[in-house]
A and B are shown apart, each in its own frame.
Chain A
Amino acid sequence: MAEALSQPVSFYQAKTGLFSWIFSTDHKRIGLLYFYAIISFFLVAMSLGFLMRLELIAPGETIMDAKTYNQVFTLHGVIMIFLFLIPSVPAFFGNFLLPLMIGTDDVAFPKLNLFSWWLYVLGGIFALLTLVVGNGPADTGWTFYAPYSVKTGTNVTMAVLAAFILGFSSILTGLNFIVTIHRLRAPKMKWFQMPLFAWALYATAWIQLLATPVIGITLLMIIAERVFGVGLFDPALGGDPILYQHLFWIYSHPAVYIMVLPAMGLISEMIPTFAKRTIFGYKAIAYSSLAIAFIGYFVWGHHMFTSGMSGPARVIFSVLTFLVAVPSAIKVFNWVATLYKGSINVKTPLLFSLAFIFQFLLGGLTGLVIGALATDIHLHDTYFVVGHFHYVMFGGAGFAFFGALHYWYGKIWGKMYNESTAQIAFWLMFIGFNVLYFPMLVLGIMGMPRRYYDYLEDFTTLNVVSTVGSWILISGIILMIYNLIVSRKKGEAAPRNPWGSTTLEWQTPSPPPLHNFDATPVVPEGNPYDHKQNKSE
């Protein structure tokens, strides 16, 4: 860089004190606020997952009773989806990185951004309050299917209210990103010079904006139904439970792409860096994000193949479901092609990216299995589905998140993590993950239904294997967290661009100064991943 100044004051030092954080309008601080909140919830939900695996280690009651188990998996699902996966990548990485990547100093509406974080916290508090207020946390599953969710005595109202508030937070984040991308790109950055992560966020933001209101109103209806005792979805009072399912999945299917699209964006950033060459098919990846977002709106019915939906509707939803696999396929092929003739530097972020590709592939392909009518009739609501979604959500989006955490660790915290510990943690996690979830796919084919707290003897062996897998996974996760915490103090100072990456966020010091750049960032000409222009190590 031409005008390298002396190391400027980082955004951490610019202001200090608790209030300088929780009332900050700086996108980097808000991103970090999200990070700490999200990680706390994530740990809670993971511990719940761990408890479920313990309960399932043997048939019959092991460590908790049926009702507790039901509440545990509901809370696990609600936290994982609404409090971890939906906000994780956009609200943390998106907030921190988007303005840096497009070379501006903040998002379009900084105050609104802070407000979204507060809403997130409020929603989280409500979700946790269900533990102590009323008759305990909801026991409906994260899907809140009526009429059970209307009848049960547990505190569904508050859980639903929490989800409603979180939805609002998600909408405002999406709105902010869309306007930011439209208006605040660096003057020379054209649309097709944006990093692919920005493209992914852009596509995601549209889903957040245009799908979330539907769940908002649906949840309000559930609350109204519980409070006024009317029969919106309760057939005893003239309602139709299937209509609820339509409304729920109109949002919740697109929502799965809110979870995975930004994660795919992270992968598109990491792979070219570690392959030391430009990404293959930049435009195809950018367009396929939009395509996934768009087609993703038309397939919600695949969650309802056995619900009593009409035959023709099932057929149409099945075709459309298959079509949504094509843009995902395009992405996968492009990532793999990016490795071709590269000069590959195998570091932890790349390992996580490769694991992402493998696991997302497995998750996506099992998605095809349940997208087909005949097979879904058999596999719906079995452990096969549980396996499918953990593969895409945890093995996919979750692993991308962890990889990105290592990749941008230096940029965010100014220190480098310890590489060899990180790799050990990675292998533990990778092995543990597959031992944990692969047996679930088999269990599903054998016919074990999900949300079962007790199961028949036949299913025991595989459940034990799965539980053991969870222990391996945990040791990996704990090691990873340990490494990241320790490196924060003991790690080496991070240079501006430790990996030789090409996007704008690497042109500024690590961590960046308050207004992001100490000199006007230089937008590379043409493709943003062109390693020929940027040889500095």
Chain B
Amino acid sequence: MANFVLANSGHNRDDEASKFGMWLFLFTELLLFGGLFLVYTIYRYLNSEAFLHASYELNVIMGTVNTVVLLTSSLTVALSITALQKGHVKLTMWLLVATILFALTFLVIKYFEWSAKFEHGLFPGMDHYEHLPAGEKMFFFLYFFMTGLHGLHVIVGGVLLGFVMRDIKKKKTTPDNYVYLENGGLYWHLVDIIWIFLFPLFYLIH
């Protein structure tokens, strides 16, 4: 059978479509966190004193450092796209390595933060947590839930960039065809944007 191909085929390469799809996906991520922001807003409104009080338990310095780490990792991803566009494949790889290292740094710092909270028994089910007033419980639970979900996204983003690196190695992602890198980058920036909001909401209520 004459296997003719339509000009507007779903099997053709269409970078704009891939990017558009990625953006749409980011919209859903935004609203996924949006639900949590809604819960946060309402409970914060109902328990403002308790939230204020509980937020003092969080470590502003670690939070700030992590913000800087994530912002910098966003920079390295953005730079890596420029690098690939200019054909500097080696540099691209190094920038991606840096990004993933920043991601790990972020997670390590988060790990220390979380374990400090665990030591204080602030995780649901632990002793100290159970004796907190309701509003503070809510704060800590939301803290764990939201930063936990965000942490999960950091991991996914890191893995995604790892796959992109493999693609670059295999010459599937090249200076002429770098939409995967762009999409990986988009995802990574979203993770950053969400943190930009989480950070003041939890750490800087004072």
The answer to whether A and B touch directly, with their CB atoms under 8 angstroms apart, is yes
Residues of A within 8 A of B6 (CB): 103-105, 186, 515-517, 520
The answer to whether B34 touches A110, judged by C-beta atoms less than 8 angstroms apart, is: no
B20 on interface, CB distance cutoff 8 Å: yes
Residues of chain A at interface, number, CB under 8 A: 56
Contact of A238 among B5, B25, B30, B137 (CB under 8 A): B137
Taking the complex as formed, is A240 at the interface, i.e. its CB lies under 8 A from any CB of chain B? yes
- Smallest Cβ-Cβ distance to A517: which chain B residue: B6
A216 interfacial contact with B, CB 8 Å: yes
Indicate if A218 sits at the interface (CB-CB under 8 A): yes
Q: What residue in chain A is nearest B1 (Cβ atoms)?
A: A8
Given the contacts A212-B28, A216-B32, A184 and B8 also touching, CB distance less than 8 Å: yes
Q: Which residues 116-147 in B have Cβ within 8 Å of A in the complex? A: 124-125, 133-135, 137-138, 141, 145
Q: Select one of B2, B10, B32, B134 contacting A180, CB under 8 A.
A: B10
- A105-B5, A105-B6, A106-B11 as given contacts; A247 in contact with B138, CB under 8 Å: no
Contacts of A104 in B (CB 8 A): 6, 8-10
The reply on A115 being an interface residue by CB < 8 A is no
Chain A contacts for B145, CB-based, 8 A = 221, 224
**A146 within 8 Å of B (CB atoms):** no
Check B10–A106 contact: CB distance below 8 A: yes
B61 within 8 A of A: no
Count of chain B residues with a beta carbon within 8 Å of a chain A beta carbon: 43
Most buried by A among B10, B39, B133: B10
Give Cα A232 to B36, complex, Å.
11
Q: How far is the CB of B148 from chain A (nearest CB, A)?
A: 9
Determine which of A9, A105, A175 lies in contact with B10 in the assembled complex, contact meaning CB atoms within 8 Å: A105
Task: Give A27's nearest chain B residue, CB to CB.
Answer: B10
Q: Is A395 among interface residues, defined by CB-CB distance under 8 A?
A: no
B9 touches A228 (CB 8 A): no
User: Any chain B CB within 8 A of the CB of A469?
Assistant: no
Is the Cβ of A240 less than 8 Å from the Cβ of B46?
yes
| Beta-carbon contacts under 8 Å, A238-264 to B | 238-240, 243, 246-247, 250
Chain B residues, Cβ within 8 Å of A247: 35, 38-39
- Which residues of the other chain, B, contact A250 by a CB distance below 8 angstroms? 35
Contact of B7 among A5, A112, A187, A211 (CB under 8 A): A187
Question: Does B205 lie at the interface of the complex (its beta carbon under 8 Å from any beta carbon of A)?
Answer: no
- Name the A residues within 8 Å of B4 (CB-CB): 515, 520
Pair A186/B8 contact, Cβ less than 8 Å? yes
B1 touches A513 (CB 8 A): yes
In the complex, A27 Cα to B31 Cα: how many Å? 28
Q: A283: which B residues are within 8 A, CB to CB?
A: none
Known: A214-B34, A218-B35. A185 touches B8 (CB 8 A): yes
Out of A27, A103, A209, A229, name the residue touching B8 (CB < 8 Å): A103
> Quick check: is B14 within 8 A (CB to CB) of the other chain?
yes
Are B39 and A243 in contact, CB atoms less than 8 angstroms apart?
Answer: yes
The CA-CA distance from A187 to B202 in the complex, in Å, is 50
Q: Smallest Cβ distance from A169 to chain B, in angstroms? A: 13
Which residues of A206-224 are within 8 A (CB) of B?
Answer: 209-214, 216-218, 221, 224
Question: Is B42 an interface residue when CB atoms closer than 8 A count as contact?
Answer: yes
B24 contacts partner chain A, Cβ-Cβ < 8 Å: yes
Shortest B15–chain A CB gap in Å is: 11
* Total cross-chain contacts (CB, 8 A): 136
Q: Is A198 an interface residue (CB 8 A)?
A: no
- With contacts A210-B27, A218-B35, A228-B125 taken as known, whether A237 is within 8 angstroms of B10 at the C-beta atoms is no
- Whether B35 pairs with A214 at a CB distance below 8 angstroms is yes
Q: State whether A210 touches B28 (Cβ < 8 A).
A: yes
A182 an interface residue at 8 Å Cβ cutoff? yes
B176 within 8 A of A: no
- CB-contacts of A484-501 with B (<8 A): none
Residue in chain A with minimal CB distance to B36: A217
Please give me the residue from chain B that is nearest to A109 by CB atom. B21
CB distance from B1 to the nearest CB of A (A): 5
Q: How far is the CB of A1 from chain B (nearest CB, A)?
A: 15
A243 to chain B: which residues have CB within 8 Å?
39, 42-43
Q: Which of A99, A108, A518 has the most CB of B within 10 A?
A: A108
A232 in contact with B21 given A105-B11, A217-B35, A247-B35 (CB within 8 Å): no
Query: A183 with B35: in contact, given A5-B2, A231-B137 (CB under 8 Å)?
Result: no
Known: A108-B10, A175-B24, A213-B32. A9 touches B5 (CB 8 A): no
Nearest neighbor of B37 in chain A, beta-carbon distance: A217
What is the distance, in angstroms, from A140's C-beta to the closest C-beta of chain B? Answer: 20
Q: CB < 8 Å: which of B2, B20, B28 contacts A213?
A: B28
Asked whether A231 lies within 8 Å of B134 as measured between CB atoms, the reply is: yes
Q: Is B167 an interface residue (CB 8 A)?
A: no
Is A179's CB within 8 Å of the partner chain B?
yes
**Contact of A213 with B35 in the complex, beta carbons under 8 Å:** yes
- A221 and B1 contact, CB distance less than 8 A: no
**Set of chain A residues within 8 Å of B43, measured between Cβ atoms:** 240, 243
* Minimal Cβ-Cβ distance residue in A for B123: A228
Please, how many angstroms separate the alpha-carbon atoms of A9 and B2 in the complex? 10
Q: How far is the CA of A186 from the CA of B9 in the complex (A)?
A: 9
Whether B29 is near chain A, meaning CB under 8 Å from some CB there, is yes
Partner of A209, one of B24, B36, B124: B24
Cβ–Cβ contact A183 & B125, under 8 A: no
- State in angstroms the CA–CA spacing of A221 and B43 once bound together: 14
How long is the Cα–Cα vector from A229 to B141 in the complex, in angstroms? 11
User: Which residues on the B side are within 8 Å of A229 (C-beta)?
Assistant: 124-125
Tell me, rounded to whole Å, the shortest Cβ–Cβ distance linking B5 to chain A. Answer: 7
Which residues 91-131 of B have a CB within 8 angstroms of A? Answer: 124-125
| A214 touching B31, Cβ below 8 Å | yes
* A234 CA to B134 CA, complexed, in Å: 11
Cα distance A171–B8 when bound, in Å?
24
- B7 contact set on A, CB distance < 8 A: 187
Query: How distant is the Cα of A210 from the Cα of B27 in the complex, in angstroms?
Result: 7
Can you report 15 residue pairs joining A to B where beta carbons are below 8 Å apart?
A9-B1, A104-B6, A105-B5, A106-B9, A110-B11, A179-B21, A187-B8, A210-B31, A214-B35, A221-B35, A228-B141, A231-B134, A232-B138, A515-B5, A518-B1
Closest 6 CB pairs of A and B: A238-B134, A106-B10, A217-B35, A213-B32, A213-B31, A228-B124
Please give the residue numbers on chain A whose beta carbons come within 8 Å of chain B beta carbons, in ascending order: 5, 8-9, 27, 99, 103-110, 112, 171, 175-176, 178-180, 182-187, 209-214, 216-218, 221, 224, 228-232, 237-240, 243, 246-247, 250, 513, 515-518, 520
Supplied contacts A224-B145, A513-B1, 14 more A-B pairs, CB within 8 Å: A8-B1, A105-B9, A108-B21, A109-B17, A110-B11, A175-B25, A183-B20, A184-B8, A213-B28, A221-B145, A238-B47, A239-B138, A247-B38, A515-B3
